Amino acid sequence: MYKAKVLIRRRASILDPQGKAVEKGALLLGLNNISNTRIDKYIEFTVDTDEEIAAKEEVTTYCKKLLANPIMEDFEFNLEKI
Amino acid sequence: MYKAKVLIRRRASILDPQGKAVEKGALLLGLNNISNTRIDKYIEFTVDTDEEIAAKEEVTTYCKKLLANPIMEDFEFNLEKI
């Protein structure tokens, strides 16, 4: 069995309105040094197979078809045997 | 200046309905080995100060007051000098 850890990030060229919004809140709290906030997704799940190549394929399909938006996000992942 | 990398996770005891939802989608795609999907937040931003202690305080306040929900999420972060 593998544990997959996936990071899904908006491309740098694409604005992050949620990040901008919390940053405005930070200013109101007196946190004046914070900038460039980007809020991305970190996803963990288990893959119930002992074949690493099959696990990689399954994780890649999961990311491409469901977890990431291919128009504006990139993903990277690593697998850890458990 | 520091770059802060923050991971905000729902506590393990708290259900993740978004994770459950995409997992149902995975089954429909024929990905039968995936389980325990948890979708959490990964946040990056810069902190414009050269004092590490001040940067840590600012990041902690930002996490506690704005980024994380203290009722059901925990956060961890690291700072990297840039």
DSSP string of B33-58, one letter each residue: SEEEEEEEEEEEEEE--S-HHHHHHH
pLDDT at A54: 95
The model's confidence at residue B42, banded by pLDDT at 50, 70 and 90, is very high
**Burial environment of residue B56 by CB neighbours within 10 A (0 to 12, 13 to 18, 19 or more):** middle
pLDDT at A24: 94
* pLDDT digits 0-9 by tens, A7-60: 999 999 999 999 999 999 999 999 999 999 999 999 999 999 999 999 999 999
Domain residue limits, chain B: 2-81
For residue A61, which phi and psi values (nearest 5 degrees)? -65, -45
Q: Which of A57, A65, A50 is nearest to A2 (CA)?
A: A50
The model's confidence at residue A62, banded by pLDDT at 50, 70 and 90, is very high
Interface test mutation site (partner A, options B3, B7, B27, B39, max chain A beta carbons within 10 A):
B39
- CATH fold of B2-81 reads Mth169; Chain: A , (3.30.1280)
* pLDDT digits 0-9 by tens, B17-39: 999 999 999 999 999 999 999 99
Nearest chain A residue to B39, by CA = A43
In 3-state terms, what secondary structure has residue A40?
Answer: strand
The model's confidence at residue B1, banded by pLDDT at 50, 70 and 90, is very high
Question: CA A7, CA A5: separation in Å to the nearest integer?
Answer: 7
Neighbours of B27 (CB within 10 A): 10
At which residue do the structure tokens 């690493």 appear? A52
Contact A34 B62 (CB under 8 A): yes
pTM: 0.91
Give chain B's mean pLDDT: 95
Neighbours of A76 (CB within 10 A): 10
Smallest Cβ distance to B37: which of A37, A43, A65? Answer: A43
Helix, strand, coil fractions of chain A, as percent rounded to 5: 35, 40, 25
Q: What is the ipTM of this complex?
A: 0.90
pLDDT at A5: 98
